[in-house]
Amino acid sequence: MAIECLVLGAGQEVGKSCVVVTINGKRIMFDCGMHMGYLDDRRYPDFSLIPRNAAEDFTSSLSCIIITHFHLDHIGALPYFTEVCGYKGPIYMTYPTKALAPLMLEDYRKVMVDRRGEEEQFSSKDIVECMKRVTAVDLKQTVQVDKDLQIRAYYAGHVLGAAMFYAKVGDAAMVYTGDYNMTADRHLGAAQIDRLHLDLVITESTYATTLRESKYVREREFLKAVHNCVACGGKVLIPSFALGRAQELCMLLDDYWERMNLKIPIYFSAGLTIQANVYYKTLINWTSQKVKDSYATRNPFNFRNVCKFECSLINAPGPCVLFATPGMISGGFSLEVFKQWAPDEVNLITLPGYCVAGTVGHRLMSAKTPTQVNIDQNTQIDVRCQIHQLSFSPHTDAKGIMDLIKFLSPKHVILVHGEKPKMESLKGKIESDFDMQCHVPANNETVSIPSTHYVKADASSAFLKSTWSPNFKFVTERSRGNLITDDMDMISKPVLRVRDDRVAEGILTTGKHQNPKIVHLKELVHTSGLETHDVQFALCFPVRITKMDEQQQLNPVSQESLPFLHQLFLKLSNNFSEATIQESDQNLQIESFIVSVCSKEKCPHRMNDGPDYTYEAVHFCCTWSGADEKLARNVISFMKNLVLNKC
C-alpha cells in the first residue's frame, strides 16, 4: 500500500496550491488555487494530469476536494474546475471560508474583467453554483466523506477560517496543513492540532529558512513609529489588505489608543474593510483566545476609536491614522491618499512585509527616502514622508514548521508552497534532526510513500486474558538507538529500562486458508499440534568418603549409621536453606534437579576425564533440566567438595 502525492501546484513555488493525494484508492484534492503571477494557462493547475480512466470524468476519479482557506492561491481555480472542467463531487471547507470565499472570488473576477478587460474565466453565476456544492465543516468535526474516508479540520491561524485537514483512509492517515501560523497574533490564534499517528504531513514552507523575532518587537516598533508621527501632528497611512492585517493592526492601535488616552481619530476607508469587520464580529469562535476572553465584556472588533472616513477629510488639518485598501498601493484609494500625503515629511506610510514588483509599494521599499515615484507618465510624486516597513506575517517561520513536524512526528514529510533552495535547506534539517524522510516535489511530480496497513488477526482467549494483567520486565541496556555516548559521562552505568511484555508474549500464527491468529506463548504447542521436547542434563561423579575414626576427630557427633543419601540431604539442607529439598528412598530432588546414589559400574553419565582419585568414593548420579542449570551447577560444585562418612 502506498500514498501517492501528485503536486499540481505550489511545488517549489508559491502560488496555485493544489495537491492530489491518493490514499488506499481514495483520491483527494487539497486546495485548488490559482497563480497570480501568470495570465496564461500556467495560472491554473494542470488538471489533465489527475489520473483517471479514459471514460471517467473528474467527479468519479476524485473522492472530494478540500479547501483550507479563502486566499486566491488556495481557492482561485475552484469555480473553473467545478463549472468549466465539470467536477461535481463534494467540496469541503470551513464555515468562514465558505462565507468569505465568494467575496474574494467575485472581487478577483471583477478586477480581471472590469479593470483589465480580460476574458472571463468564470462568471458570477459560476461562483454561486460552485459554492452551492460546498459542505461546510466545523473545527475538530470528523466528517465521513464515504465509507472509508474520514476528514477532520484543525485550527490553523493564518487567516479567518484557515484550517489544516486530517484525512484517513483505512489505516493510512495524513495531514495537509495549508498555510498556518504557529504563534498567535492579536486577532487570530496559533495553529492547534492533536498528536496523531500519521504517515505523511504535507506542509507549507513559505519561510523555510527565516527565523522571526518575537512579535512584541514588531508591535513595539510599529506603535512607536505611529505614535511618534501623530505626536508630531503627522498623518499615518496604513495601506492594507481588507481581511486580516487591517484587523490585526487596528486592534493593536485601538488598544494602544485606549491605554494611552489618545484622542487622535483612526479611520477605515469605505469598502471591504468595514464589511470584513462584520464577519470578524460574527465569527468570534475562529479568532484568538484573547478575543474570545474579552468577548464576554466587549467585542474587540467594535473598535472604539475608529470612525468612518470621508474623502473631504484627506486634507483636513491635524493628525490622523487611516487604513486604506489595497495593501501594496497598486491603485485605488490607498494610492489616492498616498499622492496627497507623501510629500509632507511629518507623515508616515507603513508598507506590508511583501510587495509585488511593479506596485508603488515595491518601489518605495527598494528606494531610499526622499525619492520620487512616478505613478504614471504625467504624475510624479516627491516622497518626503517617513516609511515604516511592517514585519507582520501570517505564516509560520522555520522554527514553527520544525516545531509542528516534531510534534506530529509523521513518517514522511512533503514540503510545498515555498522557494526551492530554502525548501532544500529545510528538508536537510528535517532529515538530520528528526531522522524522517522529506520530499520537495516540483509541480506535476508524483511522490509515492509507503503507508501503514494493519492486518486483522483473531486472538485466542488465553492471549486476551494474558493482556489483562500487566507483565513487567526490567532490563538493563548499555546504550540505545542512536544514543551516542561520547558526551554521556553523565550516564556511567547501563540504563535500567522497564517493559511491559504482555503483548510480546503473543505469537502470530498463520496457516493456509486461515485468518491470522494470535495465540499465547503457552498455547503454541497445543494449537500447532507439535510435541514438546525437553533437554535433560545428567552427570555422574564421585564424592569422597572417609572412615569412621578419621571422621570422628573432625566431627564428634556420630553420624555413623546414616545412608549416604540422607547425609547428603542434611548437608544440602544446611547450605541451601532457601531451596525446598524433597527426600525419598531412592533420590533427593530440588526443583528439577534429582540426585541418587549410582551403583552401576558403567554409568553412561560417569565423568572419566576428571583427575584420578585414590580415595574411597561413592558415585552420585544427577539429572536436571535446562531451566535449573544454575542451581544444578551450584549443588554439584558443593557436592564435589563434600566428604561423607562411610557406612
Nearer to other proteins, 146 or 433 (CB): 433
- At 46 the three-state DSSP class reads coil
Distance (Å, rounded) from C-alpha 175 to C-alpha 198?
7
Distance (Å, rounded) from C-alpha 81 to C-alpha 91?
11
Asked whether position 192 contacts other proteins by CB under 8 A, the answer is yes
**Binding residues for other proteins restricted to 252-281, rule: CB under 8 A:** 252, 255-256, 258-261
CB of 64 to other proteins, least distance (A): 26
Cα dist from 493 to 472, 478, 483, 485, 496, whole Å:
21, 7, 14, 11, 9
CB 439 within 8 A of CB 412: yes
Nearer to other proteins, 118 or 194 (CB): 194
Catalytic residue among 13, 83, 204, 523: 204
Asked whether position 219 contacts other proteins by CB under 8 A, the answer is yes
Nearer to other proteins, 176 or 333 (CB): 176
Distance (Å, rounded) from C-alpha 67 to C-alpha 97?
8
Nearer to other proteins, 121 or 386 (CB): 386
Nearer to other proteins, 480 or 533 (CB): 480
CB of 435 to other proteins, least distance (A): 6
Parallel, antiparallel or unpaired: strands 134-137 and 91-94 = parallel
Tell the burial category of 489 from Cβ atoms under 10 Å away from its Cβ (0-12, 13-18, 19+): exposed
CB of 487 to other proteins, least distance (A): 6
Parallel, antiparallel or unpaired: strands 617-625 and 593-598 = antiparallel
CB of 352 to other proteins, least distance (A): 20
Asked whether position 482 contacts other proteins by CB under 8 A, the answer is yes
Distance (Å, rounded) from C-alpha 380 to C-alpha 394?
34
Q: DSSP of 391-437, one letter per residue?
A: ---SS--HHHHHHHHHHH--SEEEEESS-HHHHHHHHHHHHHHH--E
Distance (Å, rounded) from C-alpha 262 to C-alpha 35?
43
* Member of 278, 495, 607, 627 binding other proteins (CB under 8 A): 495
Rounded to a whole number of angstroms, the CA Rg of the chain reads 40
* Member of 308, 453, 478, 499 binding other proteins (CB under 8 A): 499
Nearer to other proteins, 104 or 390 (CB): 390
- Give phi and psi for 152, each to the nearest 5: -150, 140
Neighbours of 16 (CB within 10 A): 29
Nearer to other proteins, 490 or 557 (CB): 490
Asked whether position 494 contacts other proteins by CB under 8 A, the answer is yes
- At 181 the three-state DSSP class reads coil
Asked whether position 290 contacts other proteins by CB under 8 A, the answer is yes
Determine the size of the site formed for other proteins (CB under 8 A): 70
**Binding residues for other proteins restricted to 383-442, rule: CB under 8 A:** 399, 403, 406-407, 409, 433-435
Asked whether position 296 contacts other proteins by CB under 8 A, the answer is no
CB of 491 to other proteins, least distance (A): 6
Distance (Å, rounded) from C-alpha 531 to C-alpha 353?
77
Asked whether position 484 contacts other proteins by CB under 8 A, the answer is yes
CB of 261 to other proteins, least distance (A): 7
83 carries an active-site annotation: no
Q: DSSP of 467-484, one letter per residue?
A: TTS--EEEEEES--TT--
Place of cell 486577532: 187
* Member of 116, 298, 368, 480 binding other proteins (CB under 8 A): 480
- Which of the ranges 347-355, 448-456, 485-493, 508-516 carries the binding residues for other proteins, by CB under 8 A? 485-493
Q: DSSP of 329-362, one letter per residue?
A: --SHHHHHHHHHHTT-TT-EEEE-S---TTSHHH
Find out whether the peptide bond into 370 is cis, omega within 30 degrees of 0. Answer: yes
Q: What's the residue count for the chain?
A: 647
Asked whether position 465 contacts other proteins by CB under 8 A, the answer is yes
Site string for other proteins, 193-212 (x = CB under 8 A): xxxxx-------------xx
CB of 46 to other proteins, least distance (A): 36
CA 121 to chain centre: 38
- Which of the ranges 60-68, 79-87, 178-186, 303-311 carries the binding residues for other proteins, by CB under 8 A? 178-186
Least Cα distance to 452 among 171, 168, 167 occurs for: 171
CB of 282 to other proteins, least distance (A): 21
Torsion angle, CA of 400/208/396/350, rounded to 10 degrees?
Answer: 140
| 285: DSSP letter | G
Asked whether position 214 contacts other proteins by CB under 8 A, the answer is yes
Nearer to other proteins, 214 or 577 (CB): 214
CB of 205 to other proteins, least distance (A): 16
Neighbours of 450 (CB within 10 A): 14
Nearer to other proteins, 24 or 228 (CB): 228
CB of 237 to other proteins, least distance (A): 22
Asked whether position 216 contacts other proteins by CB under 8 A, the answer is yes
Asked whether position 493 contacts other proteins by CB under 8 A, the answer is yes
* Member of 40, 41, 376, 489 binding other proteins (CB under 8 A): 489
Asked whether position 469 contacts other proteins by CB under 8 A, the answer is yes
CB of 149 to other proteins, least distance (A): 22
Nearer to other proteins, 216 or 454 (CB): 216
* Member of 55, 296, 498, 535 binding other proteins (CB under 8 A): 498
Asked whether position 454 contacts other proteins by CB under 8 A, the answer is no
Cα dist from 605 to 500, 594, 620, 637, 643, whole Å:
42, 14, 10, 16, 21
Active site residues: 204
Which residues of this protein are in contact with other proteins, per CB under 8 A? 182-184, 186, 189-190, 192-197, 211-212, 214-217, 219-220, 223-224, 251-252, 255-256, 258-261, 288-290, 293, 399, 403, 406-407, 409, 433-435, 465, 467-470, 472, 474, 476, 480-484, 487-500, 503
